[in-house]
Amino acid sequence: MAPRRQLRRFDLKHLEAHDELIGVDEAGRGALAGPVVAAAVLVTRDFLSSRWADANARRINDSKQLTVAERDALYLEFEALAAEGEIHANFGTADVAEIESLNILGATKLAMRRALEGIYPPSAFVAPPSEPDLFSSAEDIAAYKPQVRARILIDGLALRGFPYPHAGIVQGDTRSLCIAMASIIAKVTRDRLLIDLDSKFPGYGFAQHKGYGTEEHREAVLRLGRCAEHRDTFLRKLFASRIDPGQLGLLSDD
């Protein structure tokens, strides 16, 4: 894992040829239940050089490496920074029905697109067609730039068929400050959604495991059956491995 102070350096390097940097990450991709949540965080060179970033960047890391208290505290600070216009942040979700319809990769891309659309529409990154009535000369066409000069960094591999031009950064939540910030927002947002689901679907322990496949969660599903927030495609292997109690006598003690 890169030292935390290098996360800001990584982002500053990627800003050398751009005005803005947007980090994107998700939470809940591997869970058995609940939505997948993505977040996008836009930072600028001014923010990365600000007093807040200088004092607090070392506190930011991949959300999985932070405690609940650390994530919650940073989330509140991100809200304040966004309210002050220091950063721009947004999240998007894809629900269980969309996960079942699109598969988890398709749903993850949908959630990421929704998060990004709260900052810029895809069209802001695309030059209009070079039609004669749009430009007066070849020089005008060559000089045209998209509406925004933002570089998008997505945690993991680059995504095929994604409407935003972007770079995939493997283990980006441990390398890039803005991706790590996005990972915290996605994680906190999803955890809160699963805590709400715990009261709607008691008995599964959503507030504790947040929908992931812990032993307690798997046992609850086998005991109670699935609920509306469970992903059927993710449960098939669990139900396929379920042993019929009537067959227990056929098993040896070895």
Question: What does the pLDDT average to over 142-153?
Answer: 76
Q: What is the DSSP letter of 244?
A: P
What is the reported pLDDT for 5? 61
Of 15-19, 46-50, 232-236, 237-241, the least confident: 237-241
Q: What is the mean pLDDT of the chain?
A: 88
Contacts of 152 (CB under 8 A, 6+ apart): 22, 24, 116, 164, 165, 166, 167
Residue pLDDT, tens place only, 113-147: 999 999 999 888 865 544 444 445 556 555 555 57
In this prediction, residue 149 has a pLDDT band, given cuts at 50, 70 and 90, of confident
What is the reported pLDDT for 155? 98
What is the reported pLDDT for 240? 80
Residue reference for tokens 């007066």: 136
Residue pLDDT, tens place only, 29-55: 999 999 999 999 999 999 999 999 999
Superfamily of domain 5-196: Ribonuclease H-like superfamily/Ribonuclease H (3.30.420.10)
- Return the number of other C-beta atoms located less than 10 Å from residue 10's C-beta: 21
Of 69-78, 129-138, 211-220, the least confident: 129-138
C-alpha to C-alpha distance for 116 and 162, rounded to whole angstroms: 11
Residue pLDDT, tens place only, 154-202: 999 999 999 999 999 999 999 999 999 999 999 999 999 999 999 999 9
What is the reported pLDDT for 148? 82
| HSE-CB of 82 using CA atoms within 13 angstroms | 18
Task: Please check the confidence at residue 233 and state whether its pLDDT lies above 60.
Answer: yes
